[in-house]
Amino acid sequence: MNLAYDPLYLFIGGHWLQAGNRDTAPVTNPADGSVLARVPLATKADLDLALTTAESVAASWRNTFPDERAAILRRAGALIRERAPRIARMLTLEEGKPLNEALDEVNRAGEYFEWFAEEARRIDGRVVPANRPGVQQLVKRQAIGTVAAFTPWNFPAITPARKLSAALAAGCPVIIKPGEEAPATALALARALDDAGLPKGVLQVVFGVPDMVSAHLIASPIVRKVTFTGSVPVGRLLSARAAEGVKPITLELGGHGPVLVFKDADIEAAAVGGVANRFRGTGQVCISSTRFLIQREVYDAFTEQFITATRKLKVGDGLEEGTQVGPLANTRQLEKMEQLVADAVEHGARILTGGKRVPGPGFFFEPTVLADVPMEARVMQEEPFGPIAILRPFDTLKDGLEEANRLPYGLSAYAFTRDARTAIDVGDGLEAGMIGINQYRIIATELPFGGMKESGHGSEGGAEGISYYLTNKFISQA
Ligand code: NAD
């Protein structure tokens, strides 16, 4: 037993349930392949209990005073920050990212609870003047009802935090199924909410066979809202399931982030910042920059700086001091990187650096830079979701925008230019939900997070985030 890693439970009906007779799945440390613990998998009876519990508390939670919900969320945020060093260590153990990135993620997860604590107090409505005498017309916004939330393994703190904080602030009970590959971090958030005084049954955490869990929960009439972060194919499947029950769904799916680097740009900022952005989280980041599209005049200068910075990256166990790139989360990801590189090379691509698995235990892959990748290569179509960067020249703004917008994804996009006109044109022309110009930092608690096209719809965070858990109700009173 790893003492730095908490025991794993299901959290149903206010009880922390051990595996008992249930099936379990191993949780692996991607830095060395060892098994950290086994996660209990919910049965249909567990899910039914979660559903009926949620139903039993829905009205009372919806009717709590905003100040009460705000106080609980604020306390939970504070507890998460207080416990961040320990939670971050578990996050690194189960997901692999460097400890400093994990710590930043956990603190930002705490921040979401603080942000939505305040948003709970700002749920307002409208009084609309009537066209008849003596009639009062009210537009109210009310909690939509029980939420089924599904989150992946790559950001096991911040993705559950974005969903839980907004839904709970709105007054919705939540049944969440975090990724089975990184379960302890999400449970630590649930523990903080429980300790902060969240009424029993308002939040329930289940793990299980993902397809069974989502089919069962989404089909239940108790669930009134679905939210999912993960891949496009699974998003499409859950969307169809939600449509069966005419339920709204928020989808945060994949991306293939383009970066347009114009000849008048600060090349060093674009290249060195681009390396940090591309290889953060070992590239397993949906808003990551993947395709670097560089105006031909500065292609060589950019490439040289990009490769130099990539070669300096320290790959290793996320718990080791100085590690900048951790392992991939699982062997599926590792195999996918090998396949994508082999396929690109077969089509004629050149490997400028990296390109191989790192020998030894753990799921490590070298930070890889590819050039001259033909359009037919898989990596030009599919989200690599790993440490592979693609460099490609372009000539005109029109060509650059065309390539940036070529794919069905529309999550993040970036551009570097010192020209104000170009900045306006790319800001308007890029088909992406989140755009960084002359910088790679595009996430903040106060900003909406979400995509367009097949990257999904709906926003999380910001002033927009809470609205996806509220429904409009119009009351006309004579
Ligand atoms: P996946 O689509 O199989 O799983 C992603 C998440 O969805 C996991 O947490 C999984 O448990 C869950 N899931 C899978 N099938 C489900 C179902 N039927 N019902 C409910 N939940 C389900 O992806 P993966 O193998 O973990 O990763 C493969 C690819 O997915 C990655 O290469 C990447 O492109 C994408 N991905 C994107 C994000 C993101 O943040 N947008 C996160 C993880 C994975």
Looking up residue 351, the CATH number of its domain turns out to be 3.40.309.10
Q: Based on the fold, state whether residues 226 and 363 are members of the same structural domain.
A: no
Range(s) of the domain holding residue 294: 257-445
Residue 182 within any structural domain of the chain:
yes
pLDDT recorded at residue 2? 66
The helix (H) or strand (E) run that includes residue 257 is strand 257-261
CB 30 within 8 Å of CB 96: yes
- Neighbouring CB atoms inside 10 A of 25's CB total 16
Q: Based on the fold, state whether residues 246 and 294 are members of the same structural domain.
A: no
Q: Based on the fold, state whether residues 177 and 287 are members of the same structural domain.
A: no
| Position 408 pLDDT exceeds 70 | yes
CA angle 301, 307, 310 (to 5 degrees): 140
386 lines ligand 1 (CB under 6 A): no
Q: Based on the fold, state whether residues 410 and 438 are members of the same structural domain.
A: yes
Task: Tell me, in angstroms, the distance from the centre of ligand 1 to residue 89's CA.
Answer: 23
Q: Based on the fold, state whether residues 231 and 363 are members of the same structural domain.
A: no
237 lines ligand 1 (CB under 6 A): yes
210 lines ligand 1 (CB under 6 A): yes
Residue 363 within any structural domain of the chain:
yes
pLDDT recorded at residue 109? 98
Q: Based on the fold, state whether residues 68 and 195 are members of the same structural domain.
A: yes
Tokens of 338: 């090998």
Q: Based on the fold, state whether residues 292 and 345 are members of the same structural domain.
A: yes
| Position 391 pLDDT exceeds 90 | yes
Kindly report the backbone phi and psi dihedral angles of residue 92, in degrees, each rounded to the nearest multiple of 5, phi listed first: -65, -40
286 lines ligand 1 (CB under 6 A): yes
Residue 450 within any structural domain of the chain:
no
Residue 236 within any structural domain of the chain:
yes
Mean pLDDT of 145-161: 98
Work out how many domains the chain is built from and give that number: 2
Q: Based on the fold, state whether residues 209 and 332 are members of the same structural domain.
A: no
Q: Based on the fold, state whether residues 83 and 219 are members of the same structural domain.
A: yes
CA-closest residue to ligand 1 atom 8:
152
Task: Tell me, in angstroms, the distance from the centre of ligand 1 to residue 234's CA.
Answer: 7
Q: Around 172, how many Cα atoms within 13 Å sit in the side-chain half-sphere?
A: 31
Q: Based on the fold, state whether residues 248 and 261 are members of the same structural domain.
A: no
Residue 5 within any structural domain of the chain:
no
Given the structure tokens 């005049």, which residue do they identify? 297
What percentage of residues in the chain have a pLDDT greater than 90? 99
Strand 24-28 and strand 35-40: the pairing is antiparallel
Q: Based on the fold, state whether residues 220 and 281 are members of the same structural domain.
A: no
Residue 328 within any structural domain of the chain:
yes
- Pick the atom of ligand 1 nearest to 151's CA: 9
Residue 59 within any structural domain of the chain:
yes
CA-closest residue to ligand 1 atom 22:
210
385 lines ligand 1 (CB under 6 A): yes
pLDDT recorded at residue 4? 86
CATH number at residue 81: 3.40.605.10
Q: Based on the fold, state whether residues 207 and 279 are members of the same structural domain.
A: no
Q: Which of 144, 151, 148 has its CA nearest to residue 61?
A: 144
Count of residues in the chain: 478
For 372-384, the DSSP string reads S--TTSGGGTS--
Q: Mind listing the pLDDT tens digit for each residue in 343-358?
A: 999 999 999 999 999 9
For 140-184, the DSSP string reads EEEE--EEEEE--SSSTTHHHHHHHHHHHHHT--EEEE--TTSHH
- Residues annotated as catalytic (active site), given as ranges: 252, 286
Complex ipTM > 0.90: yes
CB 105 within 8 Å of CB 94: no
